[in-house]
Every structure is written in C-alpha cells, then in structure tokens.
Structure 1
Amino acid sequence: MKKQYTQSKTAFDKQTEKGCNPDDHKKWSRRSFLQTLGLAGGGSMMLANTPISVSRPSPLSVALNSVENDKILIICRLSGGNDGFNTIIPVYDYDTYANARPLIKIPPSEFITLNDDFAMAKSMNKLERLWGDGQMKVVHGVGYEDSSLSHFHGSDIWANTNLTEEDRTGWLGRYFQELYPDYIFNPPTSPPSIQIGSIGNLIFKGPENDFSFAVSDPRRLLQIAENGTSYGLDTLPDCTHGQQVKYLREVTNTTFTYADVISQAYENSTDFGGYLEDSLGRQLSIIARLIKGGLGTKVYMVTLGGFDTHSGQITRHQTLMNSFSEAVSTFYQDLQAAGWDDKVLTMTISEFGRRFKENGSLGTDHGTAAAAMFFGTGLQGSGFVGEHPDLSDLTRGGNVYNTNDFRQVYATVMQEWLCIPKDMVSQALLGTSFESLDLGFNCSGSIDPIDGEAIGHTVTYRNNQTYIHITTPSTAHTDITLYNIIGQKVATLRNEVLFEGSHEIDVKETAQTRLSTGQYVYRIETNGASYSRSLLIS
C-alpha cells in the first residue's frame, strides 16, 4: 500500500485548509490549467546521472505494448545539422565532392569502403562490423522541399511534419492527444515513449497539452520510486482550487508511478560494459538496461549535439561520428548478447544537412538534405535506399535537392516496423500518405511461420467498417479474441475450425456487442502459436 505524502505543505495546501476562495467562480478546466502552467502528461527523472523524460502515451502505443509485437524504435537525434557528405562519402563522384571541399574532404586513405559507390570515414570504424553483419542501411538525400535553414524552425518541421504552416504539435504527440486523452487519470503500467538526454522535444507535443513536465530533484524522485510514496487526494475541498491541487498531485503521482517502473526495469538488468563515458554512450547504456529489464516502452529518443560545424569541421565532426559509432556499435553488441538486436531499430534524424561546398572557416554552413542511417538485425541486410542527390545540380544557395522526403521515412517506420495501420499513419502525418521505402522489413500480411508454413493476417477499412483478413495454410482450430487498449477481453470473433484458404471477419458485426470508437487489439491463436495486431473501430 502506498504511503500518503503529508509533509512540507505548500502555500497551495495552506490556502486550501482555509477553504475556497469566494471569488473562485471562473470557468476552469484541467486542459486550460495545464496550458496555463505549461505542464503535461509525462515526467522526467535522473537515472545514472542522465535526465530521462517520460512522454505521454497513446492508446496506439498501449495497444502495441499489449500484443506480441515487441519491436522497439530508437530515434537518434544528431542535433545541429549533420553533414551527410562527410558521413557517407560519394565515391562515385569523388572529384566533384573533392573540388567542392578541398580542405575538409575525407581523403581515400581514410575510407571505409561500403560498396563501389560509397564509403564512410575511418572515424566511424565501429560501424564497419554492423555493415558487414547486415545491420546497417542508409537512406540517401533525406529532407523536404524548400528546406528551412534555421535550427529552430528546421527542428520544428522535422518534429511536426508541417511544411506550410507553423504547428506546435508533433507527429507522435498527435497520436497521444487524439487516441489517449485520459492518460493522467488512467495511465498504463509502463511509459510507451521516453526521451533521454534532452527533454521537451516537439515530437511529443499534442494539440492541447505539452507532453513533458519535470521533477527537479532526482533524489526525491528515486526516494518516491523506492518507498512507493504518493500524494493524497482525499482531503482536498470540492472547489476550483481543490481541483487544481488535485490535478497537480495526480500528474505528480503519475510521474512517481513511472519512476517506479523505470527504476524496477533498470534494476532488473545489468550493465554490459564497454560503453564510452560520453553523452550518447550513457544514454544508450541506460536504454539497453531498460529494454533488457522488460520495461515495455516502444519508442525512445536520444540526442547527440554539436553538429553545427561552421568552423573547424574536420576534427569536430570526426570526433562526433566516432562517439556515435562507438555508442551504436556497443549498443547492438549489448542487445545481441541479450537476444534483443532483431527487435530494436535505430534511426537518425537531424534538422537539416550541411551545404555541399565548404565555407572559408574550414566548415560548412546550413544546408538541406542528408543521409539517414538505420541500424538493427531487423533490416535483413545492409545497403542503400533511394537515389543520392545530384552533386552537379545545386540550388541557388549551393545546396543539393532532397531525393527522399523525411515524412516517407517516418511513414515507413510507423507502418512497416511498428505495424501501425496506414490510415492512422496518414492521420499522424497531417493527412498525407506515403508509399513505404524498402528498408528490409515489412508488416504487410504479417506472415508468420507455423510448423514450416505461414498464416497471413491484416486489417482493412471500408465504409466505416473494420475487417480482419486471415489466410490459413491448412485446416486448424482457430481462436480469435478482441481486446480493448487496457487489455480487457471484449469479444470472441472466432472459436472454431477454419479451413485452408482466405477468411474475412467484419469486426463490429461479429463481436455482437457495442464497440466504442477507438483502438483495439486482436489475438489469433492456432496450432500452438499466437499473433496480434492493433486495429481501429470508427
């Protein structure tokens, strides 16, 4: 039983004891109060001397936590604008590259050859093993048309995916707000998303709430996690002031709850060893422990800063990429030793690339497109995706044109890695749809092996109806159950022998019970195996 916190009364608490303010009659809502104070439904804590911010979850994330899809996404933010040309070197047009960068080019003697057309610098040598083991892919020329050259605006666009208007919401935050509005009062057992190393990124902000708030004293937070202490809610007066205090305490209790489960997961695992004692190494070391400890979080974001290389780029950039390659390589050794390497996908993002030509300060100025890197056994082989920008076709400012839209990268990861339905992906990307890139993984049909054969299952939406399509390789008894986002069984859709072939299930009609609009999860059990996926009821 949790202890109730009663010590150190605040001014708010002392005023409450005197009763409610007689002028306390204005219209007030939790939403407006949250906006006024800049609070939100997540929290932050310190773990291993590194700040961790807990982001507000969506029912989509909760649904993913509830199924057998144990895939995890790591977003690695290279803050400042990473130079893609000195990261992935265009060997196929080296003369053009070298002429544009006579003083900061990577010479052939410093190449790690990836194939006949591309190389990376020896400062990234720790990634050579991942490339050789089929655990690295590169998407060329990632960006967007009319790229912003501002750090702040560029970062916002990569977070909110809105190319035409100022938008203070993020692509994950829109999921959170739309699909799970009551999180603070009914939180899931583990945080579906965590950002570590930096807090408050726009990616996690919804249209109504800022999705992060901080607990300033990590010692207090760890004490809460260890002792199960929480703030009492029963003695507050029934008035606006009391509601405000209650809301703040509920928010705080949620943070304490997550501090508890995060700490438990951290303590359930052990250090792998081998990480450098630098920023990204510490971040990924902590994430590895949380993953191995069974936390259940689906999305993490880490940050490595310092990529605004206007001057002295050679040493600065190579030092950063050495840190990056060391951390990522050790991270996947850690995961591989624990059997998690095929379940964790890492992708890089940066607010923009660097200008193709060097400047007069041995550096590069703000540019447009750059390579995005992916890591993990789930990639099913190393390689390159898309066309490299034409180095002879530059904008007036001397920048290359992007060849892959960053939103298409997001859409691919959401649809094909996290297995999010395509229409929900489009909704998160402000109504825009994108075809998936070939990154080596695919959720279409969700083909899974059963005794050497395969069962296929997918979801479609027609005329406001939701359908599950199943392809069975042989006749077998099949049990299909529907669950809501908190894991409660709501209907049995099939409990019978299904013959070999294709089957379609109208979910709402078959459930024979009223299904509210929202997110659900179905589970198929047959031949001793089970398969799950989320779906949407409209």
Structure 2
Amino acid sequence: MDKRKLSRRDFLRLAGGSLALPATLMAPWKQLLADPPVVTDYKALVCVYLFGGSDSSNMIVPAGTASHAQYQQIRGDLAIPKDQLLPIPVQSDQRTEYGFHPALAPVLPLYQDGELAVLANVGTLVEPVTREGLINGSVAVPPQLFSHSDQTFQWQTGIPGDQTPIGWGGRLADMFFNAGASLLPMNITLTGQSVFLAGQKTVQYALADSGPEALEAASGDGGPVDLAIRSLLAQSRQNLLEKQFIGVQKRSMDLYQLISGALEQQNPLNTVFPDTDLGRQLAMVARVISSRADMGGANIARQVFFVGMGGFDTHDGQNDAQPQLLGAVADALRAFRDALAEAGELDNVTTFTASEFGRTLTNNGDGTDHGWGGHQLIMGGSVLGGDIYGVMPDLTLEGPDDAGDGRLIPTLATDQYDATLARWFGVGDADLHGLFPHLNRFAGSDIGFMRN
C-alpha cells in the first residue's frame, strides 16, 4: 500500500464487514448493578438523532481568513461564505476561529449564554486511530463504517463491533430501574422503537407526538366494549404465552389512561413549538417532563427520551436541503429549551445530538458522501457551554486527520461522549466501564462539558 495515500479502496477494505476484531475488543459489558443507585433528584437525557449522517463540517465552520480559504477550496460550491457565518467565541485552544451555519441563529444565544456546547470530531471507535495506523493496518476500526444501518446501530449501542441489540440508553434504564416505583417507563421513544432505548430488563414505551395511542376498542371509557375487553383480560390463563400477552395488553391500557389523564390535567405550556416533526416530538417530551408529578411523582427520578428527524443523507441538493434541516433542528431545540425553562426543569434536562457519521469534506458535485467523524451539540442548564470541546480537525486532504477522500478520523470516541453524559446522569466511575466496556482504551472518560 502507498504509505503516502490511503485510497478509497484501501479504506473500504479496512472498514469492511470482513474485518475480524480481536477477541479483547468484542468482550460483552459486565453485569449491571443488581440494585438501582439511590437518587433523590430528577434528571433526564434527550437524544436528538439526525438520521442520514449530518454534514457537520458545514454546521461549525472555520472563520479565520486562511482557514476559511482552505475550507472553501476543499468544499467548493458547498462552502458557507465567510460573511454569512455566525461568529462564536471559543475558550479552548483550537486551530482557528469558528462560526455557526447561519441557520443555527436560534441557538446562537444559548451558546453565548453558556447553555450550548459543541463537541468536536466524535465518532465510532474500538481503539484510538491515526492515519498512519490506518495506512499500515495496525489498528482495528469499527465494521461497516459507511453503512447507515450499521453505524446507527453502533452509535445507539455505544459498543462498536458488538452485535447485541441493547442500547446504552436502555442499559442506563436497566441500571436505574426500580420495579414498582412507577408504571411509567423510564425510557420513552417519540420516533418508533429504537436500539438506543432497548434494555435487558426494561421495555421502552413508544409515545406519539400527539400523545399515547389507545388499543383499538379499548379506550378506557368504561363503555360496554371496554368493559368486555377488560373482563376477558382478567380471566385466569395457564399458558405462559397467553399470560405474557395479557400482561402486555393490560400494561398498555393502564399506561394510556395514566399518560392521557396526566396530559389532559396539565396546564398548557406557553412556549410555542414549530409545527415540524421534530418540533412536535420535543413538545410532547416537554409536556411529559412537566407533568411527571401526575404520572408517578417523586418516584420518577430518571428518564431517557429518544427523538429524531431524517433527511440528512445529503448526497445531492445539499445547498437547498441543509439550511432547512439545520433550521428545523435549531428552531425545535430553542423552543424545547424555552419550554424547560418555563417548567422549571432547565437544569435537570440535557439534550444532545447524534448522527451515524459525518460526511466527506470533499463534495461530489451537489452534495457529500458518507464520512466518519463529525461534530455534535449539547444543550442544557447543566452544560458548560460557550465552548468547543475536543480538538477541531485539520482539514488538509491527505493530512493527519484525513482517512481518505476527506473522511475525518474521529479524535473522540462515542464511548467518551456517552460516558460524560452518563456520569452527569448519576453513574459512578466504577460503573461507567460496565456501561461502556471499551472506555478504558481512550484517554479520559469525562470530556468536561457537563457540570457534575
């Protein structure tokens, strides 16, 4: 292999599904705690997943004269003009000045006020990777790096290379699970069943952005049909499958009554959310958080939510699509922040973005292709915002951060990102390695963007 260049073919061979990871990199996570941690406060994590692979190199852009010229030369027609960038102050030692994409204007004040942080160049890793290591084949990389489904799976499990469909949000729910504390599940999805919230002993609850959905003909209204169904479900069953099925149906009906009743009694929030898919999802999350006192009260100490929006697979038409995509994210995040402040929950909820991969620095004429490392946003009253965490990449093609064709080699692992959030959530240092078994391969388990 040419020691100076890492060709697309070479990189695809390294990242392909045929790569066998060493056994030490495939070890399953340890058994989680038998007893849930004792917590007396309330905290929630909200994952905003950007399906398709977000081109974050246009979300956070070099703003220095020389660095922007380099960026513009590489990106061509996809580059954001320097005079359109929203300058952001940076406290950490970075390569140059940076600016937000203009569509992020709604969240710029949050960054300036210290409620929003940027995480630089994070991605799936099984061990630290350098360009030289890729060239000489001395490092292992996650399998199927450019596959949407595989990388979504790996981002959501938090264990690249492991095929067990248990998410790190689900493992958090397993760890904090307290049987009988509340009927309301700790892990709630607003965008369909997710790997992220799948646990070993906890079951995620799928909630529509309009509220809970009743079983057909079992509305809980006490009418003849509803009473007949409940009578059937109350009958004794010997078959284990029948018992399990009945248990699921009862739980679904009880949850419908609990959640719909609490939402109906809730005083409406004054914050106006955008009428978009993500806006409606986050509006419902805000309503659930603010009405939790009527769904289990003090017994609901921890919650994990999963929301998302698609459209980020911008192989073409990126100049038209990306401003709308980022604008929709920024509008929804800003409204969510304001609703949490209105409900007095701003310090208790941390919202963070994720996406299966970044995209190539180079363009394909009208868009970008699947990449690797990318930048993410973290928002909340407990976030140490107003800064970029990690190291922004060198954009030089065939430079130290280029895995080939402008694909950024991550300098932070998803393990480190997830562990920093989990520590704030209440996971002790000793148990972080049970949640993220590859964590000890990386330098530092706390990136520092949270007030712990």
SS of residue in 2 equivalent to 1:77: strand
Change (3 A) 1:169 1:219: closer
CA distance in 1, matches of 2:166, 2:203: 9
**Which of the numbers 435, 442, 451 marks the counterpart of 1:441?**
451
Preserved CA contact (<8 Å) 1:226 1:260: no
How far 1:60 moved relative to its partner? 7.7
Query: Structure 2: which amino acid aligns with 1:119?
Result: G
**Which of the numbers 152, 157, 163 marks the counterpart of 1:155?**
152
CA distance in 1, matches of 2:343, 2:34: 24
**Which of the numbers 71, 92, 101 marks the counterpart of 2:75?**
101
> Partner residue of 1:131?
111
SS of residue in 2 equivalent to 1:126: helix
> Partner residue of 2:93?
none
Preserved CA contact (<8 Å) 2:53 2:312: yes
How far 1:222 moved relative to its partner? 9.8
> Partner residue of 2:281?
283
Percent identity of the aligned residues?
A: 24
**Which of the numbers 184, 190, 193 marks the counterpart of 2:184?**
190
Q: Does 1:67 align with 2:39?
A: yes
Query: Structure 2: which amino acid aligns with 1:382?
Result: G
Instruction: Provide structure 2 residue ranges, at least 5 long, that are not aligned to the other structure.
Output: 1-30, 90-95, 126-140
> Partner residue of 1:7?
none
When Rg is computed on C-alpha atoms for both structures, the one with the higher figure is: 1
CA distance in 2, matches of 1:403, 1:59: 28
How far 1:377 moved relative to its partner? 1.6
Q: Does 1:301 align with 2:290?
A: no
**Which of the numbers 348, 357, 361 marks the counterpart of 1:343?**
348
Preserved CA contact (<8 Å) 1:161 1:430: no
Preserved CA contact (<8 Å) 2:58 2:101: yes
Change (3 A) 1:135 1:313: same
How far 1:223 moved relative to its partner? 5.6
How far 1:331 moved relative to its partner? 1.1
CA distance in 1, matches of 2:184, 2:201: 22
After TM superposition, the structure 1 = structure 2 runs for residues 124-523 of structure 1, keeping only pairs within 5 Å, are 124-145=104-125, 146=141, 148-175=145-172, 188-196=182-190, 198-206=191-199, 218-220=213-215, 224=219, 230=230, 235-238=235-238, 242-267=239-264, 268-294=266-292, 295=295, 296=300, 298-360=303-365, 362-392=366-396, 393=399, 394-415=402-423, 417-430=424-437, 432-433=439-440, 434-442=444-452
> Partner residue of 1:511?
none
CA distance in 1, matches of 2:438, 2:373: 23
CA distance in 2, matches of 1:371, 1:62: 36
> Partner residue of 1:524?
none
Preserved CA contact (<8 Å) 1:61 1:298: no
RMSD: 3.0
Which moves more between the two structures, 365-374 or 126-135?
126-135
Q: How many residues align?
A: 374
How far 1:189 moved relative to its partner? 2.9
SS of residue in 2 equivalent to 1:298: strand
Which moves more between the two structures, 340-349 or 267-276?
267-276
Higher share in helix: 2
Query: Structure 2: which amino acid aligns with 1:162?
Result: I
How far 1:208 moved relative to its partner? 8.3
CA distance in 2, matches of 1:256, 1:237: 19
Preserved CA contact (<8 Å) 1:407 1:429: yes
CA distance in 2, matches of 1:166, 1:304: 24
How far 1:190 moved relative to its partner? 2.1
Change (3 A) 1:376 1:248: same
Preserved CA contact (<8 Å) 1:60 1:175: no
**Which of the numbers 90, 96, 110 marks the counterpart of 2:84?**
110
Query: Structure 2: which amino acid aligns with 1:171?
Result: W
> Partner residue of 1:477?
none
Change (3 A) 1:390 1:286: same
How far 1:108 moved relative to its partner? 1.5
Query: Structure 2: which amino acid aligns with 1:278?
Result: T
How far 1:204 moved relative to its partner? 2.3
CA distance in 2, matches of 1:223, 1:316: 42
Q: Does 1:120 align with 2:119?
A: no
CA distance in 2, matches of 1:231, 1:383: 59
